[in-house]
Amino acid sequence: MIIFGTKASNIGSFDVPKSKCEYCELESTQRISVFGKYAHIFWIPIFPTSKKAIAECTHCKRTIEQKDFSDKLIQLYQENKSKAKRPFWHWLGLGIIGSLIALITIIGITAEEDPRSMMLNNDLSMMSSSPTMESDSISFKIKQIFDQVVTEEINPSNFEYLTKIQGNKALILVKMPKLKKVEKSGRSEALEMIEMITNNQQDLNDKEKYIGVQGAISMMLIKTPTYEKNSKLALTRELYEFYGTKDEFKK
């Protein structure tokens, strides 16, 4: 449970001499205390919000809130409120968030990009909604089955496909833009169907299969010889091994 809200702390006080008290009617000194409000999450200050002031007569000790200040006291408060400055910790949360963003940015800039990521992205961009027997026979057969068994609600005509064979490995990619509408068990059936179709293809006999099924944006189903994931966000890096080991690309 996230605990959030607002709190206030005293950020300064100052005396305003010769200011008439509304209660004792003496032209005494009013002591104005300024409180700074701030938003917090788990009691950690995130950012400042507003200020409020309370005036206390040093003679009769009666206090009044800012909304009840006389015109003269409002004027004196406006002239002196700069003496009450917010402490830096009222911005603590923003500072932490800014530091994290900067750190993530630096890591992103300095991190070495895996060349296999670019290769996978290139293959994803080459997927086709209308593979032919001549251009991609395996994808063509997967599409034929999906067009027959997948409901129109998921719109199989918008599916995209790509199959790629490299040495003793095969990459099978399918994009289903409305996959998020399918229950998790239904997504597993889609993966099983791809496996069933590809297991019956002579071209894929004895091949290590790397299967990735993408939703509208992110990869959601992945199965490799050593990994399987059915999630709203499956990590595409598990498909990188199709292209070779990372050490091979460092050479």
What does pLDDT average to in each consecutive run of 10 residues of the chain (251 residues)? 78 84 82 89 84 90 88 84 82 84 76 84 95 94 93 91 95 94 88 92 91 93 93 88 84 58
Domain boundary among 78, 107, 136: 107
- Token pair 């409305």 in the structure block, residue: 178
| Boundaries of domain holding 32 | 4-107
At 142 the pLDDT is 95
Of the candidates 54, 17, 11, the residue with the CA atom closest to the CA atom of residue 32: 54
**What span, in angstroms and rounded, lies between the C-alpha atoms of 251 and 249?**
5
Asked if residue 45 lies in contact with residue 5, where contact means CB atoms within 8 angstroms, the answer is: no
How big is the CA angle at 216 (ends 215 and 219), to the nearest 5 degrees? 40
Q: What per-residue confidence (pLDDT) applies to 233?
A: 82
Q: What's the confidence (pLDDT) of residue 21? A: 82
Q: Return the structure tokens found at 88.
A: 């830096």
Question: Does residue 194 sit in the same domain as residue 135?
Answer: yes
pLDDT of residue 109: 64
- Considering the domain architecture, whether residues 103 and 120 belong to the same structural domain is answered as no
Give the pLDDT of residue 90.
82
138 plus 206 within the same structural domain? yes
* 190 and 66 inside one domain: no
- As a whole number of angstroms, the distance between CA 179 and CA 204 comes to 26
Do 90 and 125 share a structural domain? Answer: no
User: How many domains, in total, are found in the chain?
Assistant: 2
Are residue 152 and residue 244 in the same domain, yes or no? yes
Assess whether 91 and 127 both reside in one domain: no
Q: Are residues 51 and 127 in the same domain?
A: no
**pLDDT computed for residue 170 by the predictor:** 96
Domain boundary among 107, 136, 153: 107
- Same domain? 77 vs 173: no
CA distance 209 to 142: 15
The pTM score is 0.58
